[in-house]
């Protein structure tokens, strides 16, 4: 095969590199879209139904105090110390939020490894829940020290509620 015929089939190196970059970016977007679609569930609930969902989740949690205790009326937060001994491995960050104004309950589960590696991406997945770890001063490295259990259970004066836990 002549040199010029081989180049026609393989193309210039820049075009091949560009092709693979576009393919990788497209694959990444598809994976992110799939994860976002699977991570968040929203439904409408009456206040009593929403309270039952929160109670069900809290019932399954270990009996350690929350990582962050808040008083929304006073605007104060108190962080508890992490356990002294070893903790179980954390698999995912879960958020359950109730928006009293529209009656929506939003549940988002984010793999903890994704949260650790790609905090901004996890932030996008958590957007509908109105949970902002940055505002609360929480980061994945700190949360990993606590292991599974409640991170925050916050009830707001307007009836909204936010529950964050690690599994």
Q: How far apart are CA 98 and CA 50, in angstroms?
A: 7
DSSP per position, 43-95: EE--HHHHHHHHHHHHHTS-SSPPSEEEETTTTEEEEPPPPSS--PPP-EEEE
| Residue with the two structure tokens 């992490």 | 82
Total residue count of the chain as it appears in this document = 167
Average pLDDT over residues 109-122: 79
Q: Is the dihedral of CA 132, 162, 72, 46 positive or negative?
A: positive
Determine the average pLDDT of the residues in 110-132. 74
pLDDT of 167 reads: 94
Token pair for 51? 């309270």
Paired tokens of 85 = 């001994």
Whole-angstrom distance, CA of residue 70 vs CA of residue 86: 26
Asked whether the beta carbons of 10 and 71 are under 8 A apart, the reply is: no
Identify the pLDDT of residue 128.
Answer: 67
Q: Are 132 and 122 in contact (CB under 8 A)?
A: no
Cα 8 from chain centroid?
A: 47
| pLDDT digit string, tens, across residues 21-80 | 777 766 765 565 555 555 688 899 999 999 999 999 999 998 888 998 887 676 667 788
pTM assigned to the model? 0.74
Read off the pLDDT of residues 130-164 as tens digits, 9 standing for 90 and up.
Answer: 777 777 778 888 889 999 999 989 888 889 999 99
Q: What is the pLDDT of residue 67?
A: 92
Pairing of strands 149-155, 161-166: antiparallel
The whole-number pLDDT of residue 127 equals 66
């Amino acid at each position: 095969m002549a040199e010029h015929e081989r180049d026609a089939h393989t193309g210039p190196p820049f075009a091949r590199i560009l092709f693979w970059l576009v393919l990788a970016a497209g694959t990444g977007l598809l994976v992110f879209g799939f994860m976002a679609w699977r991570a968040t569930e929203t439904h409408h609930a009456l206040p009593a139904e929403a309270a039952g969902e929160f109670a069900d989740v809290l019932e399954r949690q270990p009996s350690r105090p929350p990582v962050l205790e808040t008083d929304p009326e006073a605007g104060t937060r108190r962080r508890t110390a992490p356990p002294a001994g070893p903790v179980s491995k954390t698999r995912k960050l879960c958020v359950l939020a109730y928006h009293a104004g529209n009656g929506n309950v939003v549940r988002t589960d984010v793999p903890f490894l994704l949260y650790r590696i790609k905090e901004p991406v996890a932030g996008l997945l958590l957007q509908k829940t109105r949970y902002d770890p940055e505002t609360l001063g929480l980061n994945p490295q700190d949360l990993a020290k606590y292991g599974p259990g409640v991170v925050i259970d916050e009830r707001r004066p307007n009836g909204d509620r936010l529950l964050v836990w690690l599994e």
